Amino acid sequence: MTPRPKKQTQRPRNTDRAPHLAIECVTPELDASRYPVKRVLGESFLVSADIFKDGHDLISARISYRGPEDSQWRYAPLTFDYNSDRWHGGFPLDRIGRWTYTVEAWTDTLRTWRSEVEKKVGAGQDVSSELLEGAIHLEAASRRAKFGEARTTLKSAAAHLRNTEVHYGLRAAEGLSPSLIALAEEFFRQSDLTAYHRELVVQVDREQARFAAWYEMFPRSCGLEGCHGTFAEAAEALPRLAELGFDVIYLPPIHPIGTTNRKGRNNTLNASADDPGSPWAIGSEFGGHDAVDPRLGTIDDFDNFVVRAAGLGMEIALDYALQCSPDHPWLRQHPDWFFVRPDGSLKYAENPPKKYQDIYPLNFWCKDRKNLWAACRDVLLFWIGHGVHTFRVDNPHTKPFAFWEWMIADVQRSHPEAIFLAEAFTRPKRMKHLAKLGFTQSYTHFTWKNTTWELRTFMEEYASPSVLEYYRGNLFANTPDILHEYLVRGGRNAFRVRLLLAGTLSPIYGIYSGFELCENVPVREGSEEYLDSEKYQLKARSCDADGNINADIAALNRVRRENRALQLYDNLAFGGSDNDQILVYAKHSPGNDLIIVVNVDPNRVQESTVHVPISALGIGHEEYYIVQDLLTGARYTWRGSSNYVRLDPASQPGHLFRVENSISRNA
C-alpha cells in the first residue's frame, strides 16, 4: 500500500497583504461599525482593543482618528493593561460632527531588539552578532532621517556598534541607551503596520443632545380667552418657562391646517367653523410644511419668537410630521408622492378598520422618491435657516428606515448641531433601531413604567452599556396623547413623583403644558386621551392656578443645572429597598455624588431601610457620610449602604440627596 499524496500546487495568495497582528474587540463599536456610536462635545473618547501577534515580539499600537473636517489622520497612543490583557487610549472630542477612528498596531522591532540584547548581556552572552543587527536598524533609521543632526547621530551610533575594536559589552551599553532608541523610533518604519479591518464612526453632538429640560406647548393656546393665540402672544409665555428652568420649547406643528375632513373637539368627525383643527393635519391653501399657520402670524413673527427664546437661553424645537392634510399643496403638485387607488384617487391614512381621512401618508418608495426625499429634507433646511436646530419627529417608525438614515446624515453633514428626537412608541427593538439610524434622542415607554420594578427594569435596559452607546431616552412625563392612569388616580402627589423621576433618571426629560397644573381629566374612564384635548381645540390656562407644581419644577431644573451628575447618561446605579414602593438610585460624577430615593406611592406614607449602591459612589461599608436633600435643605448622617427613610407623599415625593464629604474623610 503506497497511497500517493494529492497534488496541490497552488501557492498562497496575498501574503503581502495578510495582517501580521490580530486586532479584535475594539470598543466602542456598534453592530460591527454598521452604525455610529454617540458622544457629546468636550468628552474624552476612550478606545480599547485586544491586540496580539504570534511569538514573543513587543508590539505598539495607536488610535488613528479624523475629526469632521480633518483631511489627515491624527494619532493617539494605546497603552497595554496587563490585567485585562487589553489596550486602552483616548482622544478629545473638540468639535461636533462625525469622527472616524480605528486602531493600528505594529511590531516594535527596536524595543524587541533592545529587550533581547539586554537579557543576553545580563546573562553574560556574546552579543556581537546582535549589535550588527542593531547597527542595521540604526542605519535604516538614519536613511529615513535624510539629513540633520539626527541622521549624523544615528549613523555614528551604527558605526560604533560595528566597531569590533571595542568590547561588545561596551558597545551594547551605548546601543541600548534610551535616548538613542527613542531617536531611532522617530524614524522607524512600521513595516508590518496592521490596521483594524473596519473604520468606526462616532457622532459627536452638542451637549444639549444629552442634557436638556423640554417643555411642549401649543402657541395657539396663548391667546386671550377664546381667541387663537399668536407667536407674539406665545412669546410672552417664554420668560415664565425660562424661570422654570426649561431649555427647549417644543411646538407641535405650526403649519397651516387642512380644512377638508378637519377633526372637531375631542376628535369628533364634524368640526365646527371655529374649530382650529389638529396641527398634525398639515397643509392648506396657505401652504405646507415650510409655511406658518397665518393665525399664528408670519414667518417674521416666528423668527422673532425664536430670537426671544434664544435671548432667554432657550431654543425652539419644531415638530417634523411627514404627512399631509387633504389640502396640502403637495397633493396637487406631486400626486405621485402619495399612495394611489386603482381608480386613480389618493389614499388617506388607515389602520384597518380605522380611517384617518384628514391625513394622507406619503409613499416614500414612489417612483419619484428622490425628489420626495429631497423635498422632505429641504423642509428641515428651511427651518434650520430660521434658527430651529432641534426637531421632534412624529411617528418615524411609519416611514422607511433608509429615509431616516440618509436624511439625518445628510442634514448633519452641513448642520452637525441638528438634534432629532424620535417619537416612536413601538416595540423596543424598532425604537432602538431608529436610534441606531441616527436619531439623537428617543421617546421611551417611561409614562407606562410606574412601579419600582418597572422603572428599574426599564432604566437598566436603556442605561445598559451596549444601549447607551446610541440610545438617549428623553423621559417625557406626559404628552398630548398620553395621560397615564397613574396621574389620573394619583393626582398632584403623583405628578410630583413623576417629575422627580423623569428629571433625575435621565438628563433629558420633558413635560407637556398642563403638567405643572396637574391636569388629569381623561376624555373617558380608562382612556389616555385628555378631555377637551388641546390637539383639537384651544385651551386657556392660568399658569399659577391652585395646586400647581411650578416650585417643584423650578427647583428640580435648578438642581439639575447645579449638579453635573444629573447631566450625564451613563452614571446611573440602582440600589435596593426593603419596601417595594421605594426606589433608590445613585448618579455619580467626579466630585458630585447623588442619591435619589422616591416613594412611588402617591397616597401613603412609606418607610424603609434602603440599600445605597455605595460601591458606585466609592463609599465604604462602615463609612459615615452626610447627605443633604437639595430640594429641602435637610441634612442626615448616613453610614454605609443601609439607611432608613420615611417619605410622606403629601409633603415630598422623595429625597434628592447630595453626598457631602464623608465624616471619615474630613476627620
| Catalytically annotated residues | 394, 423
Q: Are 473 and 446 in contact (CB under 8 A)?
A: yes
Cα 117–chain centre separation = 50
> Concatenated DSSP letters for 149-195?
HHHHHHHHHHHHHH-TTS-HHHHHHHHT-HHHHHHHHHT---TT-EE
For residues 324 and 333, is the Cβ–Cβ distance under 8 A? no
The nearer residue to a second copy, 31 or 243, going by C-beta atoms, is: 31
Residue matched to cell numbers 569590533: 164
Is the Cβ of residue 194 or residue 520 nearer to a second copy in the bound state?
194
Kindly report the number of other CB atoms within 10 A of residue 488's CB atom. 16
**Lookup result for grid cell 428622490:** 370
Which CB atom, from 190 or from 579, has the smaller least distance to a second copy? 190
The closest alpha carbon to 233, from 221, 249, 250, belongs to 221
| Helical H segments across 226-368, by residue range | 231-235, 238-244, 299-311, 329-333
- Residue with Cβ nearer a second copy (407 or 595): 407
Any residues with CB less than 8 A from the CB of 156 and at least 6 apart, and which?
none
Least distance (Å) between residue 535 CB and a second copy: 22
Q: Of 161 and 482, which has the nearer Cβ to a second copy?
A: 161
Q: Among 154, 208, 252, 345, which Cα is nearest to 534's?
A: 252
Distance, CA of 642 to CA of 609 (rounded, Å) = 6
How far, in Å, CA of 488 to CA of 527, rounded? Answer: 10
Nearer to a second copy, 270 or 371 (CB): 371
Determine which helix (DSSP H) or strand (DSSP E) holds 111, and give its type and residue range. Answer: helix 109-122
Question: Which of residues 396 and 480 has its CB atom nearest to a second copy in the complex?
Answer: 396
35: which DSSP letter?
B
Smallest separation (angstroms) from a second copy to the CB of 663: 37
| Cell numbers at 257, concatenated | 391646517
Q: Would you mind telling me the total number of residues written for the chain in this entry?
A: 667
Q: Could you give the maximum distance between any two Cα atoms of the chain, in Å? A: 109
Provide the grid cell at 240.
415664565
Q: Name the minimum Å distance from CB 660 to a second copy.
A: 40
What's the closest the beta carbon of residue 433 comes to a second copy, in angstroms? 5
Q: Which residues contact 248 (CB under 8 A, 6 or more apart)?
A: 208, 212, 213, 214, 215, 314, 315, 316, 317, 390, 510
What whole-number distance in Å separates Cα of residue 104 and Cα of residue 192? 10
Q: Which three cell numbers stand for residue 200?
A: 468606526
SS3 state at 457: helix
How many other β-carbons are positioned within 10 Å of the β-carbon of residue 502?
Answer: 24
Q: How far is the CB of 414 from a second copy (least distance, A)?
A: 6
CA distance 133 to 610: 67
Closest CA to 213 of 237, 241, 239, 185: 241
Q: How far is the CB of 24 from a second copy (least distance, A)?
A: 7
Q: How far is the CB of 315 from a second copy (least distance, A)?
A: 15
565/591 Cα distance (integer angstroms): 9
Please, are residues 262 and 275 in contact by the beta-carbon 8 Å criterion?
A: yes
Nearest distance in Å: CB 406, a second copy: 5
* Residue (90 or 428) nearer to a second copy, CB: 428
Whole-angstrom Cα distance, residue 648 to residue 603? 9
Q: Are 200 and 26 in contact (CB under 8 A)?
A: yes
28 upstream amide cis, omega within 30 of 0: yes
Q: Which is nearer to a second copy, 73 or 364 (CB)?
A: 364
Which CB, 122 or 590, lies closer to a second copy?
122
Nearest distance from C-beta of residue 504 to a second copy, angstroms = 30
Strands 654-659 and 592-599: antiparallel
All cell numbers assigned to 339: 399612495
Q: State which residue, 46 or 307, has the beta carbon closest to a second copy.
A: 307
Q: How far is the CB of 605 from a second copy (least distance, A)?
A: 38
Report, in Å, the least distance between residue 128 CB and a second copy.
9
Name, in order, each residue with C-beta under 8 angstroms of 380's C-beta and a sequence gap of 6 or more: 320, 391, 407, 411, 418
Between 382 and 448, whose beta carbon lies closer to a second copy? 382
207 grid coordinates: 451637549
Least distance from a second copy to the Cβ atom of residue 295, Å: 21
